[in-house]
Structure 1
């Protein structure tokens, strides 16, 4: 990782206002997510950030939902628009994978519409048997 960046899994470091704005206003997958839903999701997840070492400013965020033993779901991966192109997304995923590796998880899942190349660098592939996967989606009453 760049010397000017710092990775942290400490939820106390999160700039929750900034992360909520990124996700609710700038992401395609969590557009309109309420602050209440955002805070509940953060509280129920492992949270990660990349920070500018000098200013302490949060530059990226991701969270993982997991039982810590068999399965994890990587989600809400976001890099601030002004920080993109510096390898911050790669650094974030690299460090998250390093924190999950010791758990011996059988499967780590995610969905993406536009970052396949990033995740392929870390061993993610298209589902081998997509017909075995199912999802139940909620009515769009509140974004999650």
Structure 2
């Protein structure tokens, strides 16, 4: 996408911007800042930037870099939506050298199934084998 780029350098992140967005989402509402910083430190991060180097999007992947990965915290700032930035982020994730050959790559989404399907994600064929500890109010 012309005029935008994605990097995986955590030093490039606008931490305040990413935290301000993430801490208001339905999936991480009120996440403590220290918890958020720990999540960044333990993930491969993908920042999307304008030609002026303003951060416009973000995603992170938690992984063992061999067999499993989980994609989370994906967003594009509202004023930059519809420009293909989410696809640019997903292309960077799909091509990342440490995310190749994984046995399982998962994510959870309430509204972006069409985007992720373009990159090979599918509904879970056998959800009955999965279990979880779900604490949706953990940050309250």
- Smaller-chain TM-score range? over 0.9
**Residue from 109, 112, 130 that aligns with 1:133:** 130
Segments of structure 2 that go 5 or more residues without pairing to the other structure are none
- Whether the aligned pair in 1 keeps the contact of 2:44 and 2:61 (CA below 8 Å) is yes
Aligned residues: 140
Aligned to 1:36: 34
Task: Quote how far apart the aligned CAs of 1:95 are.
Answer: 1.0
TM-score, structure 2 as length reference: 0.94
**How large is the Cα RMSD of the aligned pairs?**
1.4
The corresponding residue for 1:66 is: 63
Q: What's 2:89 paired with?
A: 92
| CA-CA distance at 1:139 after TM superposition | 6.6
Runs (4+) off by over 4 Å: none
Bigger mean CA deviation after superposition, 96-105 or 71-80 = 96-105
Q: Normalized against structure 1, the TM-score is what?
A: 0.92
Q: Deviations over 1:44-70 (max 9, x none)?
A: 1110111012x1100100000000000
Q: Partner residue of 1:83? A: 80
